[in-house]
A = this chain, B = another copy of it.
Amino acid sequence: MAGVRLTSRDIRSESRLVVVRALLAAGEASRNGLAEATGLSLGTVSTIVQDLLKYGIVTESRLLGGGIGRPTTGLRLNADRGRVVGFYLEDRYLEATVFDAALGELTTVEAVSDESVAEADGIIAWIDRTLDTALERAQAKREDVIGVGILLPGGMQRPVKAATAPDAIWLHLDRVRDTLGLPVVVDNPLKAIATAELWLGAGRRVANAVTVSLGFGVGAGIIQDGAIVRGATNAAGEWGHSLLAFEGRQCQCGRMGCVEAYVGVPGIRRTLAETAPDHPLAAEPEDAEGPEGFDLIAALADAAEAGDPAAVAVIDRSAHYLGAALADLVAILNPEVIALTGWAAWPTWRERVAPIVRRRVREDSPGDAAADLEIELSPSCGMEGIAAIALERFMRDIGLVTTRVIPAL
């Protein structure tokens, strides 16, 4: 990595992003208010605002002063600067959400395919058609679109061959860009959820936070001093593939003993199969990746509610696994907030799961590193995050920011 600059984040560009995020948080603010909110000098804020006005990212309004004195000029993000479209692509499911340039949600459309498509032309055409539908519904034209972001679940690494629709997009990103005729960015849900939390959630009030996604797969998004930790190859946050147990359960990634093999949905099913092999919920469904996975969680919660001892035991055991694995994040990163998405939102969370998780995290974390830690359910969604990433990419393309871009994306 010789030749890398001393600092990979260009500091001027970072200041611009900080101002944009402060405006998004405030809705409307004066230059003085922005200086106060960001810690930048009024002079720096004024220079930055001038640049943002010039490129139409920000627009001036008129605020009335608090009472005495002249009215102050207010600033807001310019929602009409253009449209940003986020896509979420699974094997047979495509969702598109149109946002304005202040990340206000305008409309969402869903499309389902009867069969899985792993062939690039078909998928790209599907995305293209769905984009038209979504834009029409949002009363927008394609030339209004300043950025497209595609969420690719699982895509922590560029795949070797196209086995699923997301794989095909990874491998044919240039063709996607050519067909849509638009700037396109792809990223995985871990980074997108963390970005949403950074722009719109806990990242507004704390410097260090971790978002944790609990689904079929599990992983983390790391916010450190106001930026997403991506690492050398955008693979940072793969906490799901860190060890819970050396030489433990086989994980779908090939490694043994990963966190995911215990707290991912199939891992919870496996805990059930170990606890009560003949339990009706322990049977493998035909498509373990589908919604059946989350149905298991809901069914387990219902069974526990009804007093099923095996269900109670599995939920408690899973809560201990999760707490222990979250304590590892505390040991390594010592965040102020851990924000959970996915099955943490299951019905028994508040009554049964959260107390065990919180106690286990506190007990297992070094010293009192978790004493003031907040563990909360995150309202953030990946779609907002991928839209924020696309907006950031747009600012990069017009020269306003110099965010480091991972080559693969």
Contact = CB atoms under 8 A, between A and B. Distances in A.
A157 B366 contact: yes
A233 B1 contact: no
Given A235-B366, A369-B157, A226 B8 contact: yes
Interface stretch (A65-73, A98-106, A205-213): A205-213
Contacts of A12: 40-41, 44
A156 B331 CA distance: 11
Query: At the interface, is chain A mostly helix, strand, loop or mixed?
Result: loop
B334 A225 contact: no
The 3 closest A-B pairs by CB, nearest first: A231-B334, A157-B367, A235-B369
Nearest to A158: B367
Interface string A330-372: 1111111000000000000000000000000001111111011
Interface stretch (A75-83, A143-151, A242-250, A375-383): A242-250
8 contacts: A7-B18, A12-B44, A157-B369, A230-B334, A243-B327, A243-B328, A245-B246, A246-B324
A363 B232 CA distance: 17
Contact of A207 (B4, B157, B220, B336): B4
A319 to B, nearest CB: 13
B232 A366 contact: no
Interface string A7-49: 1111110110010011001000000000001111100100000
Contacts of A324: 243, 246
A241 interface: yes
Contact of A331 (B18, B238, B363): B238
A6 interface: yes
A25 B1 contact: no
B38 A7 contact: yes
A61 to B, nearest CB: 21
Given A205-B2, A243-B243, A331-B241, A7 B225 contact: yes
Given A14-B11, A243-B324, A38 B6 contact: yes
A308 B331 CA distance: 37
Interface residues of A, number: 84
B369 A332 contact: no
Contacts of A1: 205-206, 336, 372
A164 interface: no
Interface in A307-328: 321, 324-325, 327-328
A304 interface: no
Interface string A219-257: 010101111011111111111111111101000010101
A2 B397 CA distance: 34
Nearest to A239: B332
Contacts of A220: 332
A224 B224 contact: yes
A194 B46 CA distance: 36
A329 interface: yes
A226 B9 CA distance: 9
A291 to B, nearest CB: 25
Given A6-B22, A157-B368, 7 more contacts: A1-B336, A7-B39, A10-B39, A12-B40, A156-B366, A246-B248, A253-B366
B238 A369 contact: yes
Given A4-B207, A7-B39, A233 B368 contact: yes
Given A40-B12, A157-B366, A334-B235, A225 B227 contact: yes
A37 B14 CA distance: 17
A233 to B, nearest CB: 6
Contact of A231 (B226, B240, B333): B333
